C-alpha cells in the first residue's frame, strides 16, 4: 500500500526516553539544574549573556512578560504583521496595548518596512517583526525605522531559531527575541518558550515574572510528553496513512477544512488562560539542551530537501518557490510555493498521498477577533496574497526517498496545472 506523507514532522532525539528517565531517577523532573544550563546554552549560541535568556511555559508567555517588563504605556500602539499567529496580537491586547496591523511582503511573507513606516503614529511604541516560516525580516530597514521613531522591537522568532541576518542570529537585533519549543517547532522541547532580552534590567524583570508562576505538576508534564510522543507516532508515514490521512483525503474531495480543529480555538485570552501560567520544567529543558546539539544537523537536512524542491519545482512555469533575499539565511520551518489554482493542486497532491498545508498562521487583519483594529494599508493585500501559498513538506525527518517522492508528486501535479 502507498504510504501517505504528513505535512508535519517532529524533530525527535533518539534518546528522549533516556533523558526523561534520567530526570526521574535524579528527582529532577520538574525542578533542576538543566533549566539554567539550557538558558545559558541558548544564550551562548546567540552570543548574549546567560542571564538574558529566560525560559517560560510558552513563547507567548515569554512575549507577555517582555511586554510587561518594557512597561509600555497602557493604550499605546504596537505594530504586528497582518500575517501572524493570532495569539501574539491578542496577548498584546491583554497586556493593555492597541494592536495595529501592517501588511507583509507576499514574496517573503514578512513585515513590509514601508507598511510599518506608514503604520506609525505618535502613539506607536513597539513593533513585532515576525520571522515567518523561518526567513528573517529585513532587520536593517526595521531597526532604522524603530530607531527613528524610538520604538521597542520584539522579534517573534517562533519559527526561526538558527536563522541569521548579516550572519547575526535572529532574536538579537531588537530589545527582545521570542522563541517557541512546541513539538513541531524547529527546537522541540514538547512545549515551552524563551525570551532573549537585551537589557539586563529588563531581563531580570522578565525572569521575576516567569519565576513567579507555579511549577506544573508531574502528572501534567507526563501527559504533555505523552501527547508529544503520540503526535510523533501519529505522523509516522504508515500510521498517518491509516489514521488522519483518510480524513484529509475525504475533506479535500468535499472541500472541507479540518485544519481548524488542529489549532487552538480562537477566542479572547483575557483573562489569561490558567494553562498558560506555569514555569518551564527541568525535563523539557534537559530535552532542549540535548536538542540544541542537533539543531544544525536538523537544519542542514531540511535545507537538503529544500534544494531538491528548488531544483525540481523552481523552473516550472507559473510556479514561485521561496525567495531568500541577500544577507539572510532561511531555516525553512515551512516551504511555501505559489501556483495557479492552489486548492485544486492541493486536492491532487492529497490524492497522491502528499499532505499539503494551505495556511499555517492567520491573516489577523481579516479576523473578527481584531475587528476595528487599524490595518495599513487597508485590506492588507500582501497578507491575503501570501495566504494563497501552499506549504510543501521539507522537514528534516523525511528520508531522502520520501523527499524525492514529495518533489516528484508535486512537480507532476504542478506541471499539469
Position 284 contacts ligand PLP (CB under 6 A) = no
What Rg do the C-alpha atoms of the chain give, in angstroms? 21
- Contact 340/318 with Cβ under 8 angstroms? yes
By beta-carbon proximity to ligand PLP, the closer residue of 130 and 252 is: 130
Stretch of 75-83, 155-163, 228-236, 322-330 lying at the interface with ligand PLP (CB under 6 A): 155-163
Position 395 contacts ligand PLP (CB under 6 A) = no
Which residues, 6 or more positions from 72, have their beta carbon under 8 angstroms from its beta carbon?
78, 95, 97, 125, 126, 152
Position 162 contacts ligand PLP (CB under 6 A) = no
The residue from 16, 84, 108, 188 that contacts ligand PLP (CB under 6 A) is 84
By beta-carbon proximity to ligand PLP, the closer residue of 60 and 279 is: 60
Query: What is the smallest separation between the CB atom of 293 and ligand PLP, expressed in angstroms?
Result: 21
DSSP run (H or E) holding 152: strand 152-156
By beta-carbon proximity to ligand PLP, the closer residue of 174 and 339 is: 174
- Contact 87/264 with Cβ under 8 angstroms? yes
- Contact 336/133 with Cβ under 8 angstroms? yes
Distance between the two ends of the chain, CA-based, in angstroms? 26
By beta-carbon proximity to ligand PLP, the closer residue of 152 and 159 is: 159
Instruction: Return d(Cα 337, Cα 352) in angstroms, integer.
Output: 18
CA distances from 334 to 185, 309, 370, 389 (A): 10, 12, 25, 11
Position 180 contacts ligand PLP (CB under 6 A) = yes
By beta-carbon proximity to ligand PLP, the closer residue of 348 and 396 is: 396
The residue from 4, 82, 88, 202 that contacts ligand PLP (CB under 6 A) is 88
Secondary structure of residue 121 in the 3-state scheme: coil
The residue from 46, 100, 143, 158 that contacts ligand PLP (CB under 6 A) is 158
Query: What is the smallest separation between the CB atom of 185 and ligand PLP, expressed in angstroms?
Result: 7
Position 110 contacts ligand PLP (CB under 6 A) = no
Q: Site map for ligand PLP, 49-78, x if CB under 6 A?
A: ---------xxx------------------
The residue from 11, 125, 152, 159 that contacts ligand PLP (CB under 6 A) is 159
CA distances from 347 to 2, 131, 247, 257, 410 (A): 17, 29, 13, 12, 11
Concatenating the DSSP letter of every residue in 396-416 gives: TTS-HHHHHHHHHHHHHHHHT
By beta-carbon proximity to ligand PLP, the closer residue of 192 and 339 is: 192
Residues from 316 through 335 that contact ligand PLP (CB under 6 A): none
By beta-carbon proximity to ligand PLP, the closer residue of 160 and 413 is: 160
* Length reported for the chain: 417
- Contact 128/79 with Cβ under 8 angstroms? yes
Instruction: Please tell me the count of residues contacting ligand PLP according to CB under 6 A.
Output: 15
Position 361 contacts ligand PLP (CB under 6 A) = yes
Residues from 117 through 146 that contact ligand PLP (CB under 6 A): 130
By beta-carbon proximity to ligand PLP, the closer residue of 175 and 402 is: 175
Query: What is the smallest separation between the CB atom of 226 and ligand PLP, expressed in angstroms?
Result: 18
Secondary structure of residue 36 in the 3-state scheme: helix
Stretch of 95-103, 151-159, 205-213, 265-273 lying at the interface with ligand PLP (CB under 6 A): 151-159
Nearest one of 203, 119, 20, 140 to 377, comparing CA atoms: 119
Query: What is the smallest separation between the CB atom of 84 and ligand PLP, expressed in angstroms?
Result: 5
The residue from 156, 175, 355, 402 that contacts ligand PLP (CB under 6 A) is 156
Position 193 contacts ligand PLP (CB under 6 A) = yes
The residue from 64, 65, 80, 85 that contacts ligand PLP (CB under 6 A) is 85
- Contact 151/145 with Cβ under 8 angstroms? yes
Bridge-based pairing of strands 104-105 and 390-392 is unpaired
Question: C-alpha grid cell for residue 85?
Answer: 499567529
- Contact 177/157 with Cβ under 8 angstroms? yes
Instruction: Using CB under 6 A, list all residues that contact ligand PLP.
Output: 58-60, 84-85, 87-88, 130, 156, 158-159, 180, 182, 193, 361
Amino acid at each position: 500500500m502507498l504510504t501517505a506523507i504528513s505535512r508535519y514532522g517532529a524533530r525527535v532525539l533518539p534518546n528522549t526516553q533516556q533523558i526523561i528517565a534520567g530526570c526521574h531517577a535524579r528527582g529532577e523532573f520538574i525542578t533542576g539544574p538543566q533549566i539554567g544550563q539550557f538558558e545559558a546554552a541558548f544564550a551562548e549560541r546567540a552570543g548574549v549573556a546567560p542571564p538574558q535568556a529566560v525560559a517560560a511555559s510558552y513563547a507567548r508567555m515569554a512575549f507577555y512578560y517582555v511586554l510587561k517588563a518594557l512597561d509600555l504605556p497602557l493604550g499605546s500602539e504596537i505594530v504586528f504583521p497582518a500575517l501572524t499567529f493570532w495569539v501574539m496580537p491578542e496577548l498584546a491586547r491583554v497586556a493593555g496595548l492597541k494592536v495595529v496591523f501592517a501588511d507583509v511582503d507576499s514574496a517573503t511573507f514578512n513585515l513590509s518596512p514601508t507598511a510599518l513606516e506608514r503604520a506609525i503614529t505618535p502613539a506607536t511604541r513597539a513593533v513585532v517583526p515576525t520571522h515567518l516560516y523561518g526567513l528573517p525580516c529585513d532587520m536593517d530597514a526595521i531597526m532604522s525605522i524603530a530607531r527613528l521613531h524610538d520604538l521597542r522591537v520584539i522579534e517573534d522568532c517562533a519559527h526561526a531559531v538558527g536563522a541569521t541576518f548579516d550572519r547575526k542570529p535572529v532574536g538579537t537585533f531588537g530589545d527582545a527575541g521570542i522563541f517557541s519549543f512546541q513539538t513541531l517547532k524547529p527546537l522541540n522541547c514538547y512545549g515551552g518558550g524563551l525570551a532573549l532580552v537585551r537589557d539586563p534590567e529588563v531581563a531580570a524583570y522578565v525572569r521575576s515574572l516567569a519565576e513567579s508562576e507555579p511549577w506544573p505538576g508531574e502528572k501534567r508534564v507526563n501527559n504533555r510528553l505523552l501527547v508529544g510522543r503520540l503526535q510523533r507516532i501519529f505522523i509516522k508515514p504508515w500510521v498517518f496513512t491509516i489514521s488522519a490521512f483518510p480524513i484529509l483525503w475525504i475533506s479535500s474531495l468535499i472541500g472541507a477544512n479540518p485544519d481548524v480543529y488542529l489549532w487552538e480555538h480562537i477566542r479572547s485570552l483575557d483573562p489569561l488562560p490558567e494553562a498558560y501560567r506555569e514555569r518551564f520544567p527541568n525535563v523539557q529543558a534537559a530535552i532542549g539542551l540535548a536538542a540544541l546539539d542537533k539543531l544544525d544537523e536538523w537544519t542542514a537536512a531540511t535545507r537538503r530537501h529544500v534544494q531538491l524542491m528548488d531544483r525540481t519545482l523552481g523552473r516550472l512555469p507559473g510556479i514561485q518557490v521561496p525567495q531568500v533575499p541577500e544577507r539572510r539565511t532561511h531555516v525553512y520551518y515551512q516551504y511555501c510555493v505559489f501556483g495557479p489554482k492552489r486548492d485544486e493542486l492541493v486536492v491532487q497532491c492529497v490524492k497522491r498521498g502528499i499532505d499539503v498545508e494551505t495556511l499555517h498562521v492567520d491573516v489577523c487583519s481579516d479576523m473578527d477577533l481584531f475587528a476595528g483594529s487599524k490595518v495599513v494599508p487597508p485590506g492588507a493585500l500582501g497578507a491575503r496574497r501570501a495566504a494563497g501559498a501552499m506549504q510543501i513538506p521539507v522537514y528534516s525527518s523525511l528520508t531522502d526517498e520520501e523527499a524525492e517522492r514529495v518533489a516528484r508528486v508535486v512537480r507532476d501535479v504542478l506541471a499539469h496545472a
